[in-house]
Amino acid sequence: MTRKQDFLIGAFILGMAGVISKFLGAVYRIPLARLLGGEGMGLYQMAYPIYPTSLSLATAGVPVAISVLVARKE
């Protein structure tokens, strides 16, 4: 395959993964809202932004650290 075809296939796969991820994210909220109720969902919505922020901060340096460790080994 050519480089352009590889790029298009990769972009398609990435796009479909994004669509599936958004769909699953929307689907799980329906039973969650029924379980938690209005007040519980309000608390969930207040606390949720902390999770992706802390996850981003925690994983931001991991690929760089792994690269450095692998480079030192060789």
Task: Read off the pLDDT of each residue in 69-73 and give the average, rounded to a whole number.
Answer: 83
Q: pLDDT tens digits for 8-38?
A: 999 999 999 999 999 998 898 889 999 999 9
Q: Provide CB contacts within 8 A for 41, sequence distance 6+.
A: 32, 33
Give the three-state DSSP class for 61. coil
Question: Buried b / exposed e across 16-36, counting CB within 10 Å, b at 16+?
Answer: eeeeeeeeeeeeeeeeeeeee
Residue 44 pLDDT level (bands cut at 50, 70, 90): very high
Residue 41 near residue 33, CB atoms below 8 Å? yes
End-to-end CA distance of the chain: 32
